[in-house]
Amino acid sequence: MLCLASQSESRMAILRAAGVPFDAMAARVDEDSLKASLLADGASPRDVVDALAEYKARKVSSKQGGLVLGCDQVLVFEGTIFGKPTSPGDLRDLMRHMNGRPHKLLTAQVLYKDGEPIWRHIGRVDLTMRVLSAAEIDDHIETHWDDIQHSAGGYHAETTPHLFDDIKGDWFDVLGLSITPLINILRAHGAAGTAKRPVLAGVLGCPIKQSKSPILHGTWLWQHGLQGMYVPVHVPKDQFERTIRILRAAGFAGCNVTIPHKEAALACSKEQSAAARAIGASNTLFFRPDGIVADNTDAFGFMENIRAHRADWSADGQTCLVLGAGGAARAIIFALLEDGAARVFLSNRTSAKAETLAQEFGERVHVLPWDARSSRNTQIDFLVNTTSLGMDGQPSLEFDLSGLRDTTIVTDIVYKPLETNLLLGARHMGCATIDGLGMLLHQAVPGFEGWFGTRPTVDHALRDAVLA
Ligand code: NAP
């Protein structure tokens, strides 16, 4: 089995994602003094990165036999190796200097077998930093400092590709490991197992740190033993198209899209599903060689969640009440009408938004004033809250439940908390209630299947992983 002479989280993540059997041992090398002495001797950046990788491999190889991999990565700008920023001010100066100019990342690997070097490889990536405004540089440093302060150059291109005009090279070299040539040499030595270059996908949004999608897709990749990586990508509002261009060039299979880019995602596509077109927004993109295909899986996820709780349920002929008229409401109204709902009452704080949706979706949709949102309770078969009210940190949803029948199904797409006040009250009245977490899980199924080639299942283990 391969031994990685490093505790680097990102390199271990790539090896795991590729399915390479490995263990890891820190090499404990004084990299700074080694680098300084090599540079003092006039070594080139290529020689330095190669020597650092070799030193780590040799050190661990002296303690154990078998295959040992040493790795290193340097950033080279105007012929000079740049290290980690010493402070936010230092990084601000460096980024101003690199603005609009090219630099490169060199990623070196040296493989030892039983104490002898048997393979070495240096991957090169050419990057051109975009001309960033002072405000963009400050925003980057403020948002990402905790993550980037230990990285050469003070960025993680993989999570903020919008900083660049161009990234030419292998995406895994950007991440710090030349995975394809490594798998090839490991295979030649019978140490690759079933390893494969991982399929890449991710979620694009701003903010993105709170997204549950990486846990969700990561759990499925692990459950199904698939070679894939799913990464969060921070994309400011005006940088969506640039990011998509870079990720397509990097070989991503596609991505999920969240606030504030769902309309831009639809606009950048060559082909759209009927749901994406009707909803006017896309949350799932498939990158095909001849263009981007846009889907919206919220309607699918919503219906699958209801049917996971009530297999025989259908909106056919039912009278429904939808609270809220935002993006999620669009998807849910579309789903209910497609499934045959006879009438959809729609109530929203800003009534003009409800009126617009009613006009778009046609005569089965009727607007109820927000103050009269409970006035049709006796007629309602199905009630859904699509507002953000009731979510942790938001005001509670005020809804008078009196008059609802105990046959009415009540659901809330807010899933933090799992049981909102609306669901609690409805449950006490004897109504069937369905929480919103399942919608989040089910809406992810079509994307995962399209990118990674296996249809995943939504089960308790997945719910637990996402809730943890
Ligand atoms: P959105 O487009 O921003 O819409 C927000 C909706 O909430 C609007 O109808 C808005 O009314 C209403 N609202 C917000 N604050 C309100 C207040 N103080 N009083 C009355 N109404 C208020 O957001 P969205 O994308 O539709 O998402 C809505 C909620 O659903 C979020 O909590 C989101 O996390 C959740 N969600 C869950 C899933 C899932 O998979 N479970 C999927 C998507 C969304 P106005 O039009 O008057 O502003």
Digit-coded pLDDT (tens) for 393-435: 999 999 999 999 999 999 999 999 999 999 999 999 999 999 9
pLDDT confidence bin for 28, thresholds 50/70/90: confident
Average pLDDT over residues 92-116: 95
Can you tell me which atom of ligand 1 is nearest the CA of 439? 40
- Ligand 1 pocket check: which of 356, 371, 386 to mutate, most ligand atoms within 8 Å of Cβ? 386
Q: What is the mean pLDDT of the chain?
A: 96
For ligand 1, what atom is nearest to the CA of residue 370? Answer: 20
| Ligand 1: centre distance to CA 314 (Å) | 24
Exposed, middle or buried, 356 (CB in 10 Å: 0-12/13-18/19+)? middle
Q: Sheet of 343-347: strands edge to edge? A: 365-367, 343-347, 319-323, 382-385, 409-412, 432-434
**In angstroms, what is the span from residue 192 Cα to ligand 1's centroid?**
48
> Quick check: 412 and 420 in contact, CB under 8 A?
yes
Residue 83 pLDDT > 90:
no
User: Cα(281)–Cα(268) distance, rounded to whole angstroms?
Assistant: 11
Beta strands in 182-290 (DSSP E): 199-205, 228-234, 254-257, 271-272, 284-288
Q: How much distance in Å is there from the Cα of 348 to the middle of ligand 1? A: 10
299 lines ligand 1 (CB under 6 A): no
Place of tokens 């809250």: 385
pLDDT band at 151 (very low <50, low <70, confident <90, very high): confident
Q: For 269-314, how does the pLDDT look when each residue is reduced to its tens digit (9 = 90+)?
A: 999 999 999 999 999 999 999 999 999 999 999 999 999 999 999 9
| DSSP string for residues in 298-316 | HHHHHHHHHHHH-TT---T
Give the atom of ligand 1 at the shortest distance from the alpha carbon of 329: 26
Q: From the CB of 212, is ligand 1 less than 6 Å away?
A: no
User: Which residue's C-alpha comes closest to atom 32 of ligand 1?
Assistant: 388
Tokens 């009534």 label which residue? Answer: 351
Answer yes or no: is the C-beta of 161 below 6 A from any ligand 1 atom.
no
The proportion of the chain whose per-residue pLDDT surpasses 90, expressed as a percent, equals 96
Q: 262 an active-site residue?
A: yes
pLDDT in tens, 229-273: 999 999 999 999 999 999 999 999 999 999 999 999 999 999 999
| Nearest ligand 1 atom, CA 324 | 9
Compute, in angstroms, the gap from residue 326 CA to the centroid of ligand 1: 6
Q: What pLDDT was estimated at residue 249?
A: 95
Q: How far is the CA of 281 from the centre of ligand 1 (A)?
A: 15
Query: 58-72, 143-157, 297-311 — which is least confidently predicted?
Result: 143-157
Is 456 touching ligand 1 by the criterion CB < 6 Å?
no
Contact of 191 with 65, CB cutoff 8 Å: no
Q: Considering the candidates 262, 270, 353, 416, report the single residue annotated as catalytic.
A: 262
Cβ 282 under 6 angstroms from ligand 1:
no
Ligand 1 mean position to 353 CA, how many Å?
A: 12
422-431 pLDDT tens trace: 999 999 999 9
Query: Does the C-beta of 387 come closer than 6 Å to ligand 1?
Result: yes
State how far the Cα of 69 lies from the Cα of 15, in Å rounded to an integer: 11
Predicted pLDDT of residue 220: 98
What is the model's pLDDT at position 153? 87
Tell me if 456 sits within 8 A of 224, measured CB to CB: yes
What pLDDT band is residue 84 in, cutting at 50, 70 and 90?
Answer: confident
pTM of the model: 0.93
